[in-house]
Chain A
């Protein structure tokens, strides 16, 4: 983790090799995950625009909620900065299209997101609790105002056209690939010292510090990883909007949606957020079609209900159920 001396440093490749020694159960899990992803990749075959569009939304929120939980799950730091990084990615694609090809812009978005997250992380991760929440919420607004101001100064219009021929199908596959990457990264972190360090930090930061963990560094690394995924997601879906403006790209609504979905699913398992994303996206589709004027109200109500009734998410419910079943089985035995 942190440098005490050269003999302490574990070479990166050695860590990778150690992480790749899998138990039988892990091999099965990996196989199941690969199977699910292959099945999900077949969605465009059915050739229905409606379901493909929902598929894009689900894939997008899966990346956002899963990567959000990578940082916020173990540390219990509720970050509302998803929109800030998502918007940066979107604007890099929107603004850069006349100069660079799309794939290059996605890479630029990743680098810019990572750098910005490192700066923000170093500055803010020393503050904890509600102050951190408010700061991250303000961050998206701040970036949005800066972008709007910059466009005003340069005399361009407040929006950008993102006219590039990417089919929904291609976008879906790109996002699905990104989701797979998010899972791989999350799985790798979960098995690593860094993952263990974050769990200790989330339980008791004082113990973490006195166990030799450089808590600031561990948190910044995770915040950077998590935010980079948000920036890349923003870059990949930018063409979907075809017209990007600050209020869309940096919408605080997005940050809240991601938090709600992740909490609904459960943030203590890697696959938890997915369990929240799928029902929520479908529910959302239904609500915004039937009650277009009351969406915000209903989102707030969902938030309250989830936090009140299922604080540990659907995954928590499932785990409780499994435990009860096992106990009952034990009683009979």
Chain B
């Protein structure tokens, strides 16, 4: 693993309560530079809530989140984006009245790295090319297929040149052919040397993409290690499949 020095981000004892429900329970983990970390676990285990806490959509009830040593747990979501954390959404979010190119450019104007004018357009076009979108930049987003909308969303997140990229079930909803294309694309993003946290259900993707996995169940961390290690872990198997004698 490259650069094992100070972690890019550390999550320390983070909890999130909604009334009596503990959605995230005392989570701690770290991500190193250029690492691809998988955040996995059964449905309802708190993975997306964890991403929402990191990206600032929700505020932790307890604990701290440090980005390069600085506490971001109380910062507004827009401020966190400015500091270099970009995300995609579980259910793809397009800006319907904007063109494809503008949808991508939207990520590169106000966030971590900022561009404007021709420089912005050129960069957005380059990103569209990089995520493999063939459609014209001035096309409306409604004309795009599902996977192409996902590509646009990925390009928008990349447009801010984030320190950390959060992908929330980016591969969900793709058909088997698209899935192969999708995994290859994330593989390419990874090869560019980015720091990425992916929340994912597709085990093939986790095995082939992640350097390391954190497994959650009922809001808490139950395992951490390489994909091979955690997927062989007895408690992880129990969390996914239930007890053998059930």
Physical interaction between A and B: yes
A2 near B110 with CB under 8 A, answer yes
- Bound form: Cα–Cα A208–B76 in Å: 12
Contacts A2-B79, A204-B95: A211 and B106 contacting too (C-beta < 8 A)? yes
Contacts A8-B114, A193-B116, A196-B106: A212 and B160 contacting too (C-beta < 8 A)? yes
Q: Which residues of A contact B83 (CB under 8 A)?
A: 4
A1 near B110 with CB under 8 A, answer yes
Interface: B82 (CB within 8 A): yes
Of A8, A10, A212, the residue contacting B81 (CB under 8 A) is A212
Interface: A209 (CB within 8 A): yes
User: Nearest CB to that of A1 among chain B residues?
Assistant: B110
A210 near B98 with CB under 8 A, answer no
Q: Which residues of B contact A170 (CB under 8 A)?
A: none
Q: Which residues of B contact A1 (CB under 8 A)?
A: 109-110
B114 near A204 with CB under 8 A, answer no
Contacts A4-B82, A196-B106: A207 and B112 contacting too (C-beta < 8 A)? no
Q: Which of B194-246 contact A (CB under 8 A)?
A: none
A210 near B110 with CB under 8 A, answer no
Contacts A199-B97, A203-B95: A18 and B117 contacting too (C-beta < 8 A)? yes
Q: Which residues of A contact B79 (CB under 8 A)?
A: 2, 4, 214
Interface: A206 (CB within 8 A): yes
Of B82, B106, B160, the residue contacting A207 (CB under 8 A) is B106
Interface: B32 (CB within 8 A): no
Contacts A2-B78, A196-B109, A211-B156: A203 and B98 contacting too (C-beta < 8 A)? yes
Interface: B149 (CB within 8 A): no
Interface: A215 (CB within 8 A): yes
**Total interface residues on B, using CB and 8 Å?**
31
B102 to chain A, nearest CB (A): 8
Contacts A193-B110, A213-B110: A200 and B98 contacting too (C-beta < 8 A)? yes
Q: Which residues of B contact A260 (CB under 8 A)?
A: none
A159 to chain B, nearest CB (A): 46
User: Nearest CB to that of B141 among chain A residues?
Assistant: A203
User: Nearest CB to that of B107 among chain A residues?
Assistant: A211
Range class of the A interface residue count:
20 to 34
Q: Which residues of B contact A4 (CB under 8 A)?
A: 79, 82-83, 112
A209 near B81 with CB under 8 A, answer yes
- Bound form: Cα–Cα A196–B112 in Å: 17
B78 near A212 with CB under 8 A, answer yes
Per-residue interface assignment for chain A, residues 1 to 34, with 1 indicating a CB less than 8 Å from any chain B CB and 0 otherwise: 1101000101000000010000000000000000
Interface of A, helix, strand, loop or mixed by DSSP: helix
Interface: A177 (CB within 8 A): no
- Bound form: Cα–Cα A196–B107 in Å: 11
- Bound form: Cα–Cα A207–B102 in Å: 13
Contacts A18-B116, A193-B109, A193-B116: A215 and B78 contacting too (C-beta < 8 A)? yes
Interface: A261 (CB within 8 A): no
B93 near A211 with CB under 8 A, answer no
Per-residue interface assignment for chain B, residues 76 to 102, with 1 indicating a CB less than 8 Å from any chain A CB and 0 otherwise: 111101110011010001111110001
User: Nearest CB to that of A199 among chain B residues?
Assistant: B98
B109 near A211 with CB under 8 A, answer yes
B202 to chain A, nearest CB (A): 23
Q: Which of B113-165 contact A (CB under 8 A)?
A: 114, 116-117, 156, 160
A69 to chain B, nearest CB (A): 15
B111 near A212 with CB under 8 A, answer yes
B177 to chain A, nearest CB (A): 28
Of B87, B106, B117, the residue contacting A200 (CB under 8 A) is B106
Q: Which residues of B contact A8 (CB under 8 A)?
A: 82, 114
Contacts A1-B110, A4-B112, A10-B116: A210 and B86 contacting too (C-beta < 8 A)? yes
User: Nearest CB to that of B87 among chain A residues?
Assistant: A210
Interface: A60 (CB within 8 A): no
Interface: A224 (CB within 8 A): no
Q: Which residues of B contact A203 (CB under 8 A)?
A: 95-98
A-B contacts, 24 of them at CB < 8 A, read A1-B109, A1-B110, A2-B82, A4-B112, A8-B82, A10-B114, A18-B117, A199-B97, A200-B98, A200-B106, A203-B95, A206-B89, A207-B93, A207-B156, A208-B106, A209-B76, A210-B78, A210-B81, A211-B78, A211-B81, A211-B109, A211-B110, A211-B156, A212-B160
